[in-house]
């Protein structure tokens, strides 16, 4: 991720996602074991809205390169999925992971498992004036299961899975994210956001002196990230820099299992004319260790948060024509599990996200600090984390609704 590394996502012709490092010891959270795991995203801005992140799944876990872009409504190149779509796919993957775990623990056979999940966001104010604010609404998930098990047994599986999902725990509990900022290589004080108490994070430009490359592309799931060619009907319009009233955005996602053991594919899209669909694949299997074939849903969730924050940074830099570049960050997303899956007592706890922002430029310190604050205020996913948004979950068993 050095300043001389590839400036576009497709510079090397690599897949849009791939494994960078194999796991030494899989994260407890990924294995459904009690413990605390930190998902670390090291991200950088490429050409305009193109971004890449290397997400490490806990201390000693696998590391995956994940990518993002924006659609034409933000003058992006539409090469990779938009940040909110990456986040949406992450929620799908983690919820399916916990559903499979709870079903296996209770001996409930699932013959088919599908999930529709949407996220709704809104924005008010102006990027030019610097008073734009992002908002989020509760996630809605419709779980569709085919099974010979009783409605009571399947409903119990769903209830246990919802409580055991770290992704859903991050939606449910209000979290106060913390921040650090480094300008031209030196850490500066943070006074307009909750400051990070962590020691200095390593600058991605120094950690990654060369662009990330595939460890063994043939071992990964094919098409971990793919633009499907499906486009929402209608004519694309550019998103304005200043909003009159409230601008609403809905992100849709449909997922299913590629393999009943836990290989998942999510089709996600922005419900906006001209928006492209993307599929993202995750590996939610346990016990795979270094042979995992895709990132987990939690890794995509971490990447999505980082990407969304960086999009807001680039939008403000662009609109205000600031002399700031070299945008990169290190983000820590801690997750925790308590209890035991076999006993049906597994419970997830989400902890605040800690974001360390690195910038280069000739602007004064107060401009960099203002940029950091505005990006946090407008970031839909930091707004999601800050609010208490109890997910709205519904269940259909063999085509019929089942109360939860």
Residue 13 CB burial class (10 angstroms; 0-12, 13-18, ≥19) = exposed
Structure tokens at 224: 């971990």
pLDDT tens for the chain, residues 1 to 404 = 544 344 889 888 999 999 999 999 999 999 999 999 999 999 999 988 999 999 999 999 999 999 999 998 888 899 999 999 999 999 999 999 999 999 999 999 999 999 999 999 999 988 777 788 999 999 999 999 999 999 999 999 999 999 999 999 999 999 999 999 999 999 999 988 999 999 999 999 999 988 999 999 899 999 999 999 999 999 877 877 777 778 889 999 999 999 999 999 999 999 999 999 999 999 999 999 889 999 999 999 999 999 999 999 988 888 788 888 889 999 999 999 999 999 999 999 999 999 999 999 888 888 888 899 999 999 999 999 999 999 999 999 999 999 99
Structure tokens at 88: 């949406």
Q: DSSP assignment of 106-148, as one string?
A: HTPPPSEEEEEEEEEEEEEEETTTT--EEEE---EEEEEEE-S
Ranges of H-type helices in 202-345: 204-207, 297-320
How many of the other CB atoms lie within 10 Å of CB of 216? Answer: 9
Residue among 21, 30, 7, 48 nearest 314 (CA) = 48
| The domain over range 18-402 is classified in CATH as 3.30.300.20 | yes
List the domain boundaries for the chain: 18-402
Q: How far apart are CA 32 and CA 26, in angstroms?
A: 11
The torsion angles phi and psi of 91, rounded to 5 degrees, stand at -60, -45
Q: How far apart are CA 274 and CA 139, in angstroms?
A: 23
Tens of pLDDT, residue by residue over 67-86, are: 999 998 888 899 999 999 99
């Amino acid at each position: 991720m050095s300043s001389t590394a590839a400036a576009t996502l497709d510079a090397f012709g690599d897949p849009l996602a791939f494994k960078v490092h194999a796991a030494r010891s899989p994260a407890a959270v990924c294995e459904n074991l009690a413990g605390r795991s930190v998902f670390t995203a090291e991200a950088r801005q490429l050409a305009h809205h193109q971004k890449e992140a290397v997400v490490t799944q806990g201390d000693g876990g696998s590391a995956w390169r994940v990518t993002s872009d924006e659609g034409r409504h933000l003058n992006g190149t539409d090469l990779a999925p938009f940040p909110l779509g990456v986040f949406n796919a992450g929620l799908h993957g983690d919820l399916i992971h916990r559903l499979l775990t709870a079903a296996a623990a209770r001996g409930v056979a699932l013959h088919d498992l599908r999930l529709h999940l949407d996220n709704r966001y809104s924005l008010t104010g102006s990027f030019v004036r610097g008073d734009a604010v992002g908002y989020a609404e509760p996630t809605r998930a419709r779980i569709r299961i085919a099974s010979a098990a009783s409605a009571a047994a399947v409903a119990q599986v769903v209830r246990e899975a919802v409580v055991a999902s770290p992704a859903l725990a991050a939606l449910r509990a209000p979290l106060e994210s913390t921040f650090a900022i480094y300008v031209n290589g030196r850490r500066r004080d943070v006074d307009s956001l909750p400051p990070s108490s962590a020691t200095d994070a390593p600058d991605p430009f120094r950690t990654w002196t060369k662009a990330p490359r595939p460890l063994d592309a043939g071992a990964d799931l094919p098409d971990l990230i793919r633009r499907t060619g499906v486009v929402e009907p209608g004519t694309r319009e550019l998103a304005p820099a200043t909003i009159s009233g409230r601008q609403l955005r809905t992100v849709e996602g449909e997922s299913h299992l590629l393999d009943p053991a836990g290989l998942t594919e999510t089709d996600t899209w922005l419900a906006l004319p001209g928006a492209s669909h993307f599929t993202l694949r995750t590996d939610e299997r346990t016990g795979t260790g270094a042979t995992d074939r895709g990132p987990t849903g939690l890794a995509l969730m971490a990447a999505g948060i980082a990407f969304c924050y960086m999009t807001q940074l680039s939008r403000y830099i662009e609109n205000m024509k600031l002399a700031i570049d070299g945008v990169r960050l290190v983000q820590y997303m801690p997750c925790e599990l308590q209890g035991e899956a076999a006993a049906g007592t597994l419970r997830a706890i989400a902890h605040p996200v800690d974001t360390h922002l690195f910038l280069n430029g000739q602007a004064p310190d107060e401009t960099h600090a203002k940029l950091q604050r505005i990006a946090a205020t407008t970031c839909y996913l930091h707004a999601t984390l800050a609010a208490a948004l109890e997910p709205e979950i519904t269940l259909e068993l063999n085509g019929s609704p089942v109360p939860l």
